[in-house]
A and B are shown apart, each in its own frame.
Chain A
Amino acid sequence: MTDKPPEGEVTRANTLLADLTDGLGKASSLVTALTAKLKDGQLDTAQGLSFLEMKNSLLLSYLVDLARVMSLKLHGKSIAGDAGIERLVELRTVLERIRPIDQKLRYQVDKLVRIATTGQLGESDPLRFRPQPGNLASRLEGDEASDSDQEADTAAGKPGKGKEGVYVPPKITAVHYDGDETAETRKERRLAAARRRALSSSVMQELGRQYLDTPEEVHDYSDTYRNRSTREEAERTKYEEDFMVRLPETKQDQRRKRELTTDWSLGEELTQRADLSALEGRLPVAGGKKRRAASAAKAGPKRRKGRGNKKPRFNL
């Protein structure tokens, strides 16, 4: 290079060289401190991540080779075909290939760093949510959980503990208190309950199905004990409606149907006609139910004589 380089480049080179010397000074101080620590044995990497150690040594060899190449260039020697270049290329490839592993180890590295700095796991670390059987043990002071009998005894054995022998009932569980309820609020509450019951009766549901356009929900559950009879009933209804005839009911069918509607088999609510008087503001009458229950009880279930459980026939 015989011709003079341009001015801008010279100044740039000077600044770069100055930065270089600064950087070198810092680096050398760091390195001496690190080597001192190593010699003292403060840095023990036996239990660390071996991946990071490997990365460190790879980077170190890369730097060494790079420094050699730079020195060759500074001395003006050619670097073509040098073994160092090949080593550099190889190291560079390896470092780029292990970068995704770095990503995958990010959580572990962060955890270890956090433990090293703060001494415990982070707030949202999933390891914090492992089951703690120790929480199941009771933390009561004094008596342990095995003394529940003693507690009951003390509760029952000293009932009269109060002011001057006033009887205080033992407080075992909390009970609903409705002593402050007036007659009006009680009536209102019963009316509201009756309204709710009337609105959800089968008749109102039918009307809703007819006039509202909510989609129809079909609940498909099969009652194991009544599967067959339900299926037969559905078949019979389908036949009757398709051919517009009424199939005759055998005596057995009649008896079975009657037994279905008795109190002892299904209970009062299902056999009573839906009382919609609550929707008009009138409380449902209790006397009506008792009268119907009495008449149903009088009919009573008849004993089935002879062959029972015969398969129902369609008499065509």
Chain B
Amino acid sequence: MSEGTATIRTRKFMTNRLLCRKQMVVDVLHPGKPGLSKNQIREKLAKMYKVTPDVCFVFGYKNHFGGGRTTGFALIYDTLDFAKKFEPKHRLVRHGLLSKPTGGRKLRKERKNRMKKVRGTAKAKVTAGKKVRKEREVVSSPTGQHWS
């Protein structure tokens, strides 16, 4: 909200009753200044449509040729529950409503492959990490030599 001269205009407004949201194309005019951040745009939109900023999801902001104008999209859900139901996971993660699954892609795939080998409730026992190798016992021979 520090950009006093930025103007927000909405176009192609549509109320999507199936997904319980309002969707629109947003034009931000910011002559001579850098573009607004997504949070700032969310707050401005929330004020315009008299909702809380947490049901506003904005994405796809691109700066136009020559500067001064940015165009993107915005979705305003009726409630947060509908938002959690219908929004794609990566946007929920951006808002902090969902946490990103830890581990890497490779680890996830390996875990899945290990799960395939087991049947039933044992699937849940399959660990996500690498299998811990058991410590080899140190055996002492009568001659006193050590094998590890």
Chain A: residues with CB nearer than 8 A to chain B?
A: 201-204, 206-207, 210, 240-242, 244-246, 260-261, 270-277
Contact = CB atoms under 8 A, between A and B. Distances in A.
Interface string B115-131: 00000000000000000
A261 B65 contact: yes
Given A246-B60, A271-B66, A276 B25 contact: no
B12 to A, nearest CB: 6
Interface residues on B, range: 10 to 19
Nearest to A257: B65
A202 B60 contact: no
B61 to A, nearest CB: 9
| Main SS class of interface, B | strand
Interface stretch (B38-46, B67-75, B94-102): B67-75
Interface string B50-89: 0000000000101001111100010100000000000000
B25 A244 contact: yes
B9 A210 contact: yes
A273 B73 contact: no
A206 B32 contact: no
B29 interface: yes
Nearest to B31: A203
Interface in B1-46: 7, 9, 11-12, 23, 25, 29, 31-32
Given A244-B73, A246-B60, A246-B62, A203 B25 contact: no
B12 A274 contact: no
Contact of A241 (B12, B68, B75): B12
A270 B64 CA distance: 12
A274 B32 contact: yes
A207 to B, nearest CB: 7
A198 B81 CA distance: 47
B60 A274 contact: no
Contacts of B60: 240, 244-246
Contacts of B25: 241, 244
Contacts of A261: 65
Contacts of A240: 60
B66 A207 contact: no
Instruction: Output the residue of A206, A207, A244 with the most chain B CB within 10 A.
Output: A244
B48 to A, nearest CB: 14
A227 to B, nearest CB: 18
Contacts of A210: 7, 9
A206 B29 contact: yes
A238 to B, nearest CB: 10
A203 B69 contact: yes
Nearest to A209: B9
Given A204-B31, A242-B12, 10 more contacts: A202-B68, A203-B32, A207-B29, A240-B60, A244-B60, A244-B75, A273-B32, A274-B31, A274-B67, A275-B32
Which 9 residue pairs of A and B lie closest in terms of their CB atoms, listed nearest first? A273-B67, A203-B31, A203-B68, A246-B60, A244-B73, A241-B25, A276-B32, A276-B31, A274-B68
B69 A206 contact: yes
B54 to A, nearest CB: 20
A203 B29 contact: yes
Contacts of A272: 66
Nearest to A210: B9
B19 to A, nearest CB: 11
A278 to B, nearest CB: 11
Interface in B134-148: none
Contact of A274 (B11, B62, B66, B73): B66
A234 to B, nearest CB: 14
26 contacts: A201-B31, A201-B68, A202-B66, A203-B68, A203-B69, A204-B31, A206-B29, A206-B68, A206-B69, A207-B7, A207-B29, A210-B7, A241-B12, A241-B25, A242-B12, A244-B23, A244-B25, A244-B60, A261-B65, A270-B66, A272-B66, A273-B68, A274-B31, A274-B32, A274-B66, A275-B32
